Amino acid sequence: MELKIGVVGLGNCGGQIAALAKEEGFSAVAINVSGDDVKTLEDKVSSIIIGNQMGSGKNREMGKKYGKESIMKILQKDSFRKVIDDAQLVFVCYSMGGGTGAALGPMMTAMLKAKFSDEDPAARKRFINIAVLPDIGESLQAQENALATFRELVSYESCYGIYDNNKYSGKGSLADMMKSVNREIVEDFKVIRGDYNLTSEYTQIDAMDMLNTMSFNGMFRICTIVGFNTKDLDNKTIEQLLIDNMNNHSAGCEIERDKTVGCIAVIANVREDVAAHVIMNMPDIHALVGEANADYSHYYAIKDDETDNFLKNRVHVILTGLSVPDDRLAKIRQRIDEARANTKKVKQSAVLSEFTDAENRVEQATQEKKLDADSVLDMF
């Protein structure tokens, strides 16, 4: 099984994800308002520049303005249509804390979903938001952008993936954090594409199964363990390792603990020595996230003579139809409230308040005449 997947990157974050996806064989295109951002993508991925090429300065309203002016033209561009027309599923990627991606992401996904709707499930294209939350320590503006973007994202029924820079905060440099998150996003794309769904005589997830998995409304998460062996299973089960990965060692947004899940899909490629440890119906996962409406499984037994490094023990669990992560959004709301309160605590300068002569001259001049450029300079 291999799905045809397209990647549309919006803004700087989305563009970097699109470039990385292109390296991994995905059809991709980047869209940006900033000419400087696009320069970092030269020779990596096809790019489209809209607006004034100066960027949106993290201003979502400016980004929306450029998007509304340009979106119909973008849809007609050959470089963009090639990504869409050839795909069964399209990921629209962006940062929620910026201006361009946060403004265009929900708008672009909704427009594509409306324009390419089809009653036939096999012919219908799926469009999925892939959005990256800002580190909780980022600016008030970034947090407000994220909350506003999330509100728009969930306002229409769709499957979406949320990744969180905060999960890797403090674990290396800013560059390391962003690269780690972007690599993990593209690795999840590979799982969904079917890169690890090796042809099996046992049970398989085919292309339609994966499309169905990714059709449940709500958030999706993928938890992964790769390269483990029997020694790693001395103290923890495979499910415990997967849950630990989901909670502590991956960039995916924390899930809401309300036991709501639409679908659980399990992909397992394992050697004989760990095969007995694999329970494909994942009871511990179900106990954590709830009973799913649908489930799919793919099991491949790695043979002893298969020594390719690609064939490591690996298990992926795809969860879709998860609830809005209110616990994480509450942290953004708290950060916004704290930041707004701090802006009201700007200390007045005791030193400047002593300069009453200058203050009186400004006040007198303002009362006497309308200020123009020359009269302002005359006051000092």
Encoding tokens for residue 321? 């139809």
Quote the distance between the C-alpha of residue 81 and its chain's center. 22
Q: What is the pLDDT of residue 241?
A: 96
Average pLDDT over the chain reads 87
DSSP secondary structure code for residue 201 in this structure: S
Q: What is the pLDDT of residue 379?
A: 44
Q: What is the pLDDT of residue 50?
A: 81
What number is the average pLDDT over the span 181-197? Answer: 97
Cα–Cα separations (whole angstroms), residue 69 to 11, 51, 66, 74: 16, 8, 5, 10
| 3-state class (DSSP) for residue 266 | strand
247-281 pLDDT, tens digit each: 999 999 999 999 999 999 999 999 999 999 999 99
Residue with the bigger pLDDT between 219 and 303: it is: 219
In the chain, what percentage of residues exceed pLDDT 70?
Answer: 87
Q: What is the pLDDT of residue 235?
A: 92
Asked if 168 and 181 touch (Cβ cutoff 8 Å), the reply is: yes
Which range, of 65-69, 147-151, 196-200, 269-273, averages the lowest pLDDT?
65-69
285-300 pLDDT, tens digit each: 999 999 999 999 999 9
In the chain, what percentage of residues exceed pLDDT 90?
Answer: 61
Which range, of 45-59, 86-100, 117-131, 365-379, averages the lowest pLDDT?
365-379
Residue with the bigger pLDDT between 340 and 233: it is: 233
Does 1 have pLDDT greater than 60? yes
Does 361 have pLDDT greater than 60? no
Which range, of 85-94, 113-122, 196-205, 322-331, averages the lowest pLDDT?
113-122
Q: What is the pLDDT of residue 192?
A: 98
Q: In what order do the strands lie in the sheet with 294-302?
A: 46-49, 27-32, 5-10, 89-95, 126-133, 159-164, 218-226, 314-322, 263-271, 294-302
Does 355 have pLDDT greater than 70? no
Encoding tokens for residue 16? 């970097």
Does 380 have pLDDT greater than 50? no
Q: What is the pLDDT of residue 84?
A: 95
Question: From CA 302, how far away is CA 274, in angstroms rounded?
Answer: 10
23-50 pLDDT, tens digit each: 999 999 999 886 776 777 878 898 888 8
Range 49-86 burial, b when 16+ CB lie within 10 A, else e: ebbeeebbebbbebbbebbeebbeebeeeeebeebbee
Q: What is the pLDDT of residue 376?
A: 44
Asked if 227 and 313 touch (Cβ cutoff 8 Å), the reply is: yes
217-243 pLDDT, tens digit each: 999 999 999 999 999 999 999 999 999
Q: What is the pLDDT of residue 57?
A: 63
Instruction: Give the pLDDT band of residue 350 (cuts 50, 70, 90).
Output: low
Q: What is the pLDDT of residue 163?
A: 97
Does 377 have pLDDT greater than 50? no
| 3-state class (DSSP) for residue 233 | helix
265: enclosing H helix or E strand: strand 263-271
What number is the average pLDDT over the span 300-322? Answer: 88
88-124 pLDDT, tens digit each: 999 999 999 988 888 899 989 988 988 887 778 778 8
